[in-house]
Amino acid sequence: MNRSATAAVAQPASAPQPPGCAGGADPAGLEFVSDPEARWPPRLAAMICAVLVIWMAVGLVWPAAPVTADDEAETSGIEPVSVAVRWSQAAPVTRMLRAEGVSKPDRDATLRAEMSGHVASVAVAKGARVEAGQLLASLQPAQRTASLARAEASLLRAERDHTRAAALHQRGSTTEQRLSEAREALAVAKADLAAARQSLAETRITAPFAGHLEEFDLTPGAYVQEGAAVARVVALDPLRVSFQVPQHQRGALRAGAVAQVRFLNGDSAEGRLSFLGQSAQADTRSFAAEVMLDNPSPSNASPIPAGISARIAVPLDIVQAHFLSPALLSLDMAGVLGIKSVDDADRVVFTPVEIVQSERDGVWVSGLADQLRLITVGQGFVTAGEVVRPRDAAATTGRAAGAEDRR
């Protein structure tokens, strides 16, 4: 009898048992005890698992070589995208601070009546140019004139009394106390006269400085209350132009810098940065600044008015920049503004840029290499890192042809 066929004799003889089963044992508990070949399958499985583990470990230690764009193109059979390129050369460009502002008078004063009374006379008309101290209008001075006359008479009397007392004291005919009383009375009379003269001067409304009479509506006979606004005088020479400076450009500005100002009415002038704030506004995080410029008022022309909009340009520094069409600008997935170019390996490179200044037919941008190949046609169909087939763009004319013409 073969050993692999039977390991024991089953009981009873009339009921045949499966070969290799211990007599009377339950099929679920069968055990091969005499066949050595039954132990090979577990060993084979263990060897296969070991080979798989070693293979995976080798892949971690020595990763496969990366697949290049050329390999992908060769594998997929897709031809690189053809794009038009042109060489661009950087040129020095003055970076400018450009801001919107408004003109303001150098001095602005509202005149108020120092006394109550009726208007006696009006010397000038609204809108006239006035000089410092010029009479604008006067109030009825009747009571003030009488007070001045009384004060003058009191002063004359006090002076005579003081002179008489001094002479008597010198001869020994009066006391020192009488001379002191006369001296005090003379001082009081002088003070009363000064007050009366000041009171009379309050009836005269005069210009505090040279300028233009912006508001003035007094008419003879009109009654004004003490403290009421009666006129407004503004000085427009020099003229101030106020604007806001962004916080990222504040450090590049210096007081005294030359500024070009163009007003909305078409006037233009050159001034200097006269004020630069040291504390940013809480809501905008910007700094207040002012440009002061000469604003003469010739006889046949008017000065630049206050309160009109203006555009201010202040030079900051000189940077290397490229001149290109705004159509070449694009955004990456993060929303960063940049341009696409082609490197020496014909791969697309996306480079973030900063707009230095804008002009009618293009923009100057910084942040690029001094020389590079810009993609002028097809930049919307390629992505950074992609291999392309560059071809020279057709020769162009004008300022978009390159920065060389801008030197």
Which pLDDT score is estimated for 12? Answer: 44
- Give the span between the Cα atoms of 19 and 22, in whole angstroms: 9
Residues of the chain where predicted confidence (pLDDT) is lower than 70 = 1-41, 58-77, 142, 144-145, 298-301, 394-407
Predicted confidence (pLDDT) per residue in 26-62, tens digit: 545 555 555 555 555 677 777 788 878 787 776 665 6
Which pLDDT score is estimated for 177? Answer: 84
Which pLDDT score is estimated for 5? Answer: 41
Which pLDDT score is estimated for 41? Answer: 66
Which pLDDT score is estimated for 330? Answer: 92
Which pLDDT score is estimated for 155? Answer: 81
Angle at 222 between CA 221 and CA 228, to 5 degrees: 145
Which pLDDT score is estimated for 72? Answer: 54
Which residue ranges form the domains of the chain, and what is each CATH number?
1-63 (no CATH), 81-93+318-406 (2.40.420.20), 99-103+234-316 (2.40.30.170), 115-230 (no CATH)
Which pLDDT score is estimated for 23? Answer: 47
